[in-house]
Amino acid sequence: MCGIAGYISKTQPPVERASAVARMNAAMQHRGPDDEGADTWGEATLGMRRLAIFDPAHGHQPMSTADGRWHIVFNGAIYNFHALRKELEAAGRSFHTECDTEVLLGAVAHWGEGALVRLRGMFAFAAWDAHEHILLLARDAFGIKPLYVHTTADGSLLFASELNALLASGRVPAAIDPQAVSAYLSYLAVPAPQTIYRNVQSLRPGEYAVWRAGRLDIKTYWTLRDAYSADITPCRTQAEFTVGLRAQLEDTIRTHAVADVPVGAFLSGGLDSTAIVALMTRLGGTRLKTFSLGFDEAGYSEADDAAANARYLGTAHHASVLTGQRVANDLGTIIAALDQPTGDGINTYYVSAAARAGGVTVALSGLGADELFGGYPSFRNVPRLARWLPVWRMLPGALREALLARWARGDTRRRKLADTLRHGTSSAALALLQRRVFAESTRRSLLNSDAMSAYAVHPEEDALAGWFPDADLFFMTSAAELRGYMADVLLRDSDVMSMRHSLELRVPFVDLPLVTWLARQPTAFKYTPGQPKSALADAVRDLLPPDLLTRPKRGFTLPFAQWMRGPLKPFLEDAFSAGSVTSSGLFSAEAVQAHWRRFLAGTDSTEWSRVWSLAILISFVNRRRA
């Protein structure tokens, strides 16, 4: 795992580019404490920070081909690099290290853009062709690893693994984009390709870009549509599916557990992480280290369940107790580390710190299982809404508008319903709307007149419907969760928070062969209404603690609603003060403060996420304006 950066320019001299790349490298030291490098070839200057995972003694970057044509900087892990190496060696290429970077470089040199569809892993890389003066940028199929780009008025290009690094170059202005702010209020994150800053964009999952003669062309090499249409024979029976899923899971765990440094895992009291740890322990080897978070607040902590799972599976378990006061003490550091504002990720920040302190460099996470096996409420809600929408549309137009206007002035639930009925024009839109945070009417009320001049409605995209014209509601909801909430919130935050502690976080459920195989299987085998993730449970049942599936279910959440009325309250009072809100230049102080007062006076345990997200956004914006 690494941080990469680069500056491509015909107008800026090499010494200026090298200085900017050095500043970007310095800003990403946490991403790669083991090594750093930078070099220049003509108009291209590339840099990197390395967290050594494969062949730690070698693999220095930037790495170049023997003929001096190709040069690469790479962040991530290519899990099938041994197979690719054999194929490339058969084609006459030789290798001098045991690291995946050299194989990736050889693959790009041999196949060019065609190498992308052959890669299994998480990655973002930049490869410079010194003969053709072309830069190839690419991001993995699911967006596990980030890649940000900025083009300048003089025809130059800068890229980096983190937005903070781009800003550290001194060549990228930190101008907050009001449209991105509006998007953040909708989705708890700024969806790619937008970022929180004007004129800085993120490559989407499965995209690559070619920089040639001052022009950046962005293209797509893989989408979920490719998984949906893959040449895989569906299983014929539930039993056949369960056996097949077990084989797929064993393959992905075996692949993701390979490293030349210590590997551990996050472990909660739930199914997803326990399944991963159970499969990892089945592989044998040294005793696995596992890590979890617990809380003092009753009803929130899974510490006892996680410890019970660890005892059953025989892991060396490390449990950390997280308190609201500790979060309050660390907030300045956490907000300074953020690339973009987010209402999520605090748990990953602390469990990653525990894992790194506990002696591992790589940790596996259960992220992705909910998206694949129907673990979210959206899998229940979308079919219900789809059944009622035809009835709604039969109502007279005037009546519908009157009801929408009334609900838009109501509580959070009614406002969200109004948005869903207004914009839920397809099954894809219905699924995407499940992740709306602030309703449209609320967003409008929070923004001041200046921000409203750049306001964007953000209608839900119907691209998914075009990709999967005959897909059922389960698949559409799964696809929406994978390309929306997972990519823009969970994976992005997981990268930022884990890499802040120099920890490589791997997500074996988000694996190309597994996702592709599942996409071709009948929904009835993958999902049973009322029994979310039962297919996953059946595939690993023989490995799980006997009482795991009969324990009362609880979604993992931090006790924020309590902390925000206790140790986090001073931070929130400061963020929502008239001076703070006005300083941001984006919000109506009166509306923001009214929202905060309603939270303090209310009893809705789910409202905390909206209030917290808003406070982080205001604090982030003010951090940049300071």
Nearest to 577 by CA among 592, 562, 567, 598: 592
How far apart CA 179 and CA 195 sit, in angstroms, is 10
- Three-class DSSP category at 170: coil
Tell me the average pLDDT across 10-25. Answer: 97
Strands (E), 134-189: 134-139, 148-151, 157-160
Length of the chain: 626
Is the pLDDT assigned to residue 507 strictly greater than 80? yes
Task: Give the integer Cα–Cα distance in Å for 79 and 213.
Answer: 33
Cα distances (angstroms) measured from residue 441 to each of 298, 342, 409, 411, 587: 35, 21, 8, 11, 14
Residue 266 has pLDDT above 60, yes or no: yes
Q: How far apart are CA 285 and CA 302, in angstroms?
A: 27
3-class SS at 531? strand
> Could you tell me the domains of the chain?
2-222 (3.60.20.10), 230-374+478-550 (3.40.50.620)
Note the pLDDT of residue 625: 59
pLDDT number for residue 417: 87
Q: Which of 2, 166, 408, 432 is catalytic?
A: 2
When the pLDDT of each residue in the chain is averaged and rounded to a whole number, the result is: 93
State the pLDDT at residue 165.
97
Q: For the residues 108-119, what does the mean pLDDT come to?
A: 97
How many C-beta neighbours within 10 Å does residue 413 have? 12
For residue 136, what are the CA distances in angstroms to 70, 114, 142, 159, 211? Answer: 10, 12, 18, 11, 7
Helix (H, G, I), strand (E, B) or coil at 544: coil
Strands 70-78 and 63-64: antiparallel
**542-596 pLDDT tens trace:** 999 998 887 766 555 789 989 999 999 999 999 999 999 999 999 999 999 999 9
Q: What is the average per-residue pLDDT within 601-624?
A: 87
Tell me what pLDDT residue 554 has. Answer: 59
Question: Cβ atoms within 10 A of the Cβ of 215, count?
Answer: 10
By the 8 A CB rule, do 479 and 494 touch? no
- Helix H, strand E, coil C: the string for 465-517 is HHHCCCCCHHHHHHHHHHHHHHHHHHHHHHHHHHHCCCCEEECCCCCHHHHHH
Q: What is the pLDDT of residue 420?
A: 87
Question: CB-based contacts of 582: which residues, under 8 Å, 6+ apart?
Answer: 589
User: pLDDT-based confidence at 606, cuts 50/70/90?
Assistant: confident
User: Is residue 173 very low, low, confident or very high in pLDDT (cuts 50, 70, 90)?
Assistant: very high
Show the 3-state SS of 546-601. CCHHHCCCCCCCCCHHHHCCCCCHHHHHHHCCHHHHHHHCCECHHHHHHHHHHHHH
- Over range 352-361, report the average pLDDT: 97
Q: How confident is the model at residue 188 (pLDDT cuts 50, 70, 90)?
A: confident
Whether the pLDDT of residue 1 is over 60: the answer is: yes
Q: What pLDDT shows up at residue 344?
A: 87
pTM higher than 0.85, yes or no? yes
Residue 224 has phi, psi (to 5 degrees) of -60, -20
Whole-number pLDDT of residue 301: 78
Residue tagged 């998480």 (tokens): 122
Q: Is pLDDT of 626 > 60?
A: no
Instruction: Point out the least confidently predicted range of 65-69, 124-128, 448-452.
Output: 448-452
User: Alpha helix (H) ranges present in 424-462?
Assistant: 427-433, 440-446, 449-452
Write the DSSP string, 37-51: EEEEETTEEEEEEE-
The pLDDT value given to residue 462? 61
Peptide bond into 559 cis (omega under 30): no
Tell me 207's DSSP state: E
**202/195 Cα distance (integer angstroms):** 7
2 part of the active site: yes
